[in-house]
Amino acid sequence: MTTEVRSLREFKMPDVGEGLTEAEILTWYVKAGDEVTDGQIVCEVETAKAAVELPIPFNGRVEQIFFPAGTTVDVGTAIISVAVGEGAAPAEAPVAAAPAAEEAVPERREVLVGYGPRTGGTQRRARRTTVVAPANSVEVPAPSYYAPPQPAPAPVAVAADVPATAERPLAKPPVRKLAKDLGIDLRAVVPTGPGGVVTREDVHAAAAAALAPAPAEVLAPAPAEAAWAAEALAQAVPAGRGDVRVPIKGVRKATAQAMVASAFTAPHVTEFVQVDVTRTMKLVRRLKESGDLGAGVRVSPLLLVAKALLTAVRRHPEVNAAWDEAAQEIVVKGQVNLGIAAATPRGLIVPNIKDAGSQTMPQLAVSLGELIDTARQGKTSPADMQGGTITITNVGVFGVDTGTPILNPGEAAILAFGAVRELPWVHKGKVVPRQVTTLALSFDHRLVDGELGSKVLADVAAVLEHPKRLLTWG
Residue 268 annotated in active site: no
Largest distance between two CA atoms of the chain: 101
Strand partners, 434: 423
Determine which one of 204, 268, 427, 445 is catalytic.
445
In the chain the first and final C-alpha atoms are separated, in Å, by 83
H helices present in 48-110, as ranges: 99-104
3-state secondary structure of 208: helix
Question: Is 82 in contact with 11 (CB distance < 8 Å)?
Answer: yes
How far is CA 195 from its chain centroid?
Answer: 22
Q: Which phi and psi angles does 411 have, rounded to 5°?
A: -110, 160
According to DSSP, residue 435 is labeled: E
> What contacts 375, CB < 8 A, 6 or more positions away?
342, 344, 349, 351
Question: Is 208 in contact with 223 (CB distance < 8 Å)?
Answer: yes
Output the CA–CA distances (angstroms, integers) from residue 443 to 303, 366, 448, in the order listed: 22, 28, 6
- Residue 237 carries which side chain, given as an amino acid letter? V
In this structure, the number of other CB atoms found within 10 A of the CB of residue 1 comes to 2
CA-closest candidate to residue 315, choices 467, 458, 465, 468: 458
> 120-126, long-range: CB within 8 Å, 24+ apart, which pairs?
120/37, 120/38, 120/39, 120/40, 121/39, 122/39, 122/40, 122/41, 122/55, 123/36, 123/37, 123/39, 123/40, 123/41, 124/41, 125/29, 125/30, 125/34
In this structure, the number of other CB atoms found within 10 A of the CB of residue 257 comes to 13
Q: Report how far residue 94's alpha carbon sits from residue 275's, in angstroms, rounded to the nearest whole number.
A: 75
So which residues are the catalytic ones? 445
